[in-house]
Amino acid sequence: MIKCNLVYALFLTITICTTCKGQSKTDLPKDNTKSETKEVITSTVPNNITRTIKQDRKGDHAAVYQLDVEKSKLFWKAPKNRHNGFILFNSGALSNFTAGRPTRGTFSINMNSMSSIDEASAARRKKVDDELRNENFFAVSKYPVATIAVSKILPEPNRTSSRVYGELTIKEVTKPIEFTTIMKQSGNTITATADINISRAHWNIDLQRNPKSWNPFDSLKDHLVDDEIQVNLELVFTKVILQ
C-alpha cells in the first residue's frame, strides 16, 4: 500500500513540473502594479499636448514674415521745398500672428541710404542729399540707423485696414507713432502700405534747436523747410519657415 502511494506521488510531481515548463510567458498573469504605473505616466503627458506643440510650431503665432529689403522702401516728401526721395531698410519683420494677422513688428532703417530724386542733375541731387545727412538735419554720420518698433496692430472695423501703434527712434530720440496700414496676403507674401506724417521738431530735425547758436540765415532756411515730413511706406514681406 505504501509503495503504491509513493508511485502515485512521484507521478503527480512529474505531471505538475511538465505542465509548468510548457506554459509560455504570455500565459503568465500580468503584473497589475506595472500596468497601473505605465498608465499613470501616460496620463500625465497625453498625446494632445504633443499635437498642440506641433500646431504652435507651425501655426499662426509662430510664423514670422521677413521684410524683403530689395523690394521695400520708405518714401519721403517735403512739399514746401519740393524735395522728395526714399530711404532703404536694413531689416524688418512681422511676428506674433493671431487669427492670421500680425500683431508686432520691428524695422531697422538705413539713414545713410537717404536719397533725393526730384532734382534733374546728379550734382544737384547730391547737394540735397548731403544737406539732409549733415548735422543740421539727420546727422547720419552720428546716427546711421533709425528704428520702428511696432507693439500693436489692430484691425479696423472695415477689416480692410489696420491701426498700427509703436515707437519711432531717430537720432536716439524715441516718440510714439500711430498710423493706418493696408496689408494684403497672397500665399507666403504680405504687402503693406502706409502714410505717416512726422514732425521734425519731435526728433530734433531742426536747424534752430539750440537757441544759443541762433543764426538768421539758418532761421530763414528752417522756415523754408516743412515742419512735417510726409512718409509713405511700401513694404513686402516673405514668410520664414521655422525648422
Domain count along the chain: 1
Structural domain includes residue 23 = no
Residue 96, domain extent? 65-240
Residue by residue, what is the 3-state secondary structure of the chain? CHHHHHHHHHHHHHHHHHHHHHCCHHHCCCCHHHHHHHHHHHHHCCHHHHHHHHHHHHCCCCCEEEECCCCCEEEEEECCCCEEEEEEEEEEEEECCECCECCEEEEEEEEEEEEECCCCCHHHHHHHHHHHHCCCCCCCCCCCEEEEEEEEEEECCCCCCEEEEEEEEECCEEEEEEEEEEEEEECCEEEEEEEEEEEHHHHCCCCCCCHHHCCHHHHHHHHCCCCEEEEEEEEEEEEECCC
**Predicted pLDDT of residue 44:** 31
Residue 193 lies in a domain: yes
C-alpha cell at 120: 534733374
Q: What is the CATH number of the domain that holds 157?
A: 2.40.128.110
Residue 36 lies in a domain: no
Residue 236 lies in a domain: yes
Q: Please write the tens of the pLDDT for every residue from 170-222.
A: 999 999 999 999 999 999 999 999 999 999 889 988 755 554 444 544 544 44
Question: Model confidence over 70-114: pLDDT tens digits?
Answer: 999 999 998 776 789 999 999 999 999 998 899 999 999 999 999
> Does the pLDDT of residue 47 top 50, yes or no?
no
Partners of 61 in the beta sheet?
none
Q: Is the pLDDT of residue 42 over 50?
A: no
Q: What is d(CA 162, CA 150) in angstroms, rounded to the nearest whole number? A: 12
- Return the bridge partners of 178, or none: 165
Q: Is 138 contained in some domain?
A: yes
Please report, in angstroms and rounded to a whole number, the separation of the first and last CA atoms in the chain.
85
Backbone angles phi, psi at 214, to 5 degrees: -60, 135
pTM: 0.69
Q: Report d(CA 145, CA 109) in Å as an integer.
A: 6
8 A C-beta contact, residue 182 and residue 193: yes
Residue 26 confidence (pLDDT): 43
Q: Is residue 93 part of a domain?
A: yes
CA dihedral (209, 117, 133, 236) positive or negative: positive
AA letter at 127: K
Residue 16 lies in a domain: no
In a domain, 47, yes or no: no
pLDDT tens sequence across 136-180: 889 999 999 999 999 999 999 988 999 999 999 999 999 999 999
Decide if 233 contacts 194 (C-beta within 8 A).
yes
